[in-house]
Structure 1
Amino acid sequence: MSPERVGGRVGGARAQIPPQRGRGIDNVVVLVEARNDEEPSLLGLYHGIALTDRDSYYAGSLPDTVTIYREAILDICNTDDEVVEEVAITVIHEIAHYFGIDDDRLHELGWG
């Protein structure tokens, strides 16, 4: 699947976020890259300061980022439908970190 098609799936995944949560996302950029050089099997990564950890020093900060690693996702998927599902899971998982939800809780919720 091309980078453009995966990027389109990222937008579709963001649309699955409940509106009350989606409106709360501010100053976050979602990127699609080929692969994480340090951890090649990593599917996605949130880099920033979770809402639950922000203080008055956060004002004026650069945007937080969610990076989706296209090649790692393609490595574990056999069909386009699986790619769509995995992109959605990964995007929602990483954006959940923005809201301060940790990996243990995400696994409990089925978004591990």
Structure 2
Amino acid sequence: MHDSEFEQLVEEALGLLPKEFADKLDNVAIITSDWPSRSQSHILGKRGERGLLLGLYEGIPQTRRGRYGIGEILPDKITIFKIPILMISRTPEDIRKNVRDTVIHEIAHHFGLNEMAIRNAKKVKIEDKVK
């Protein structure tokens, strides 16, 4: 898959965000990369996590930041990793779904949700579909 096609899928996922969340994305850059850098992979290892890194939020969640100071401040960063997503996806629809899920997952971190809260939210959503 070409980079431009993958970036389009990320844009598509962002376009699916409810307006109330999209409007509150504050000072965050969303980029794509083929693989995590060495320092990004190191973050995963420090947390004691294993496996493929599909995306990464780097920054201060909105729930923990105070007011920004005077002047410009670098944005938080969400990176979506192309090759790991392609590796776990069997079909084009799998790629689209995995990109969407990863974008939403990393944006949830931007809004202050930790891994457990994200897993619980996904579980509730799945249970609602079953009912």
Question: TM > 0.5 between the two?
Answer: yes
Residues 1:47 and 2:47 are matched in the alignment: no
Deviation at 1:75, TM superposition (A): 0.6
CA displacement 1:5-55 (0-9 Å, x = unmatched): 110000111111110111001211110000013438200000111111111
**Could you tell me the percent identity over the aligned residues?**
34
4+ residue runs of structure 1 moved beyond 6 angstroms?
A: none
TM-score computed with the length of structure 1 as normaliser: 0.91
Q: Which residue in 1 is equivalent to 2:121?
A: 109
Indicate the SS of the match to 2:13: helix
Q: Separation in 1 of the partners of 2:112 and 2:14? A: 17
**How much is the aligned-residue C-alpha RMSD, in angstroms?**
1.5
Equivalent residues in 2 for 1:9-24, closer than 5 Å = 9-24=9-24
CA displacement 1:74-96 (0-9 Å, x = unmatched): 01001111000000000010011
User: Which structure: larger Rg?
Assistant: 2
Deviation at 1:106, TM superposition (A): 0.6
TM-score computed with the length of structure 2 as normaliser: 0.79
Indicate the SS of the match to 2:26: coil
| Unpaired segments ≥5 residues, structure 2 | 42-50, 124-131
